[in-house]
Amino acid sequence: MVSLLALLPRGLTTFLYAVAALLRFYADTDTTPIQLIPLTILQWSFLAFALGTAALLANLGLEWHAGNQSRNREIEARERETRRDDLANQERNRAAEERERAARRARIQNRFFLLQTRHQLAPSRETEAALADFLSFLQEYGD
């Protein structure tokens, strides 16, 4: 129904301009087509032209409104896509940070395992000092 109403001013404008042209250029100016309303053919032509112009302005308003609506929909779609991309980027960044934390924990655990194994295989002052340093590191920076 709305699409039919959008076509109405365009078709009405064309029809009224055609009637105005026919009345203006192909009729005698002294005759009147309807005796109830005392207008000459030239006045009927002017009336048809004025109505055609009004229909043209209505069509212009409808087209302007439709253009603004489609631009607004495009802008909203772009904004939604941008928000979706931003959320996806944030999720990727969070996942990367979590992977980095997990890798750091794994490196710390590996270092501890190596130092502990070295101490168990060769209990010396050097390995005890390394283990003590590592334990102080864990106390200071551990999660």
Domain that holds residue 28: 2-141
Q: State how far the Cα of 86 lies from the Cα of 31, in Å rounded to an integer.
A: 73
Residue 55, Cβ density class (10 Å: 0-12 exposed, 13-18 middle, ≥19 buried): buried
Report the domain count for the chain.
1
Give per-residue pLDDT as tens, 123-138. 778 777 777 777 777 7
| CB-CB contact of 16 with 49 (8 Å) | yes
Two structure tokens written together for 22: 């026919």
| Confidence band of 1 (pLDDT split at 50, 70, 90) | very low
The better pLDDT of the pair 24, 64 is held by 64
Residue 113: predicted pLDDT: 74
Long-range contacts of 21-24 (CB under 8 A, 24+ apart): 21/45, 23/48, 24/49
Is the pLDDT score of 28 beyond 90?
A: no
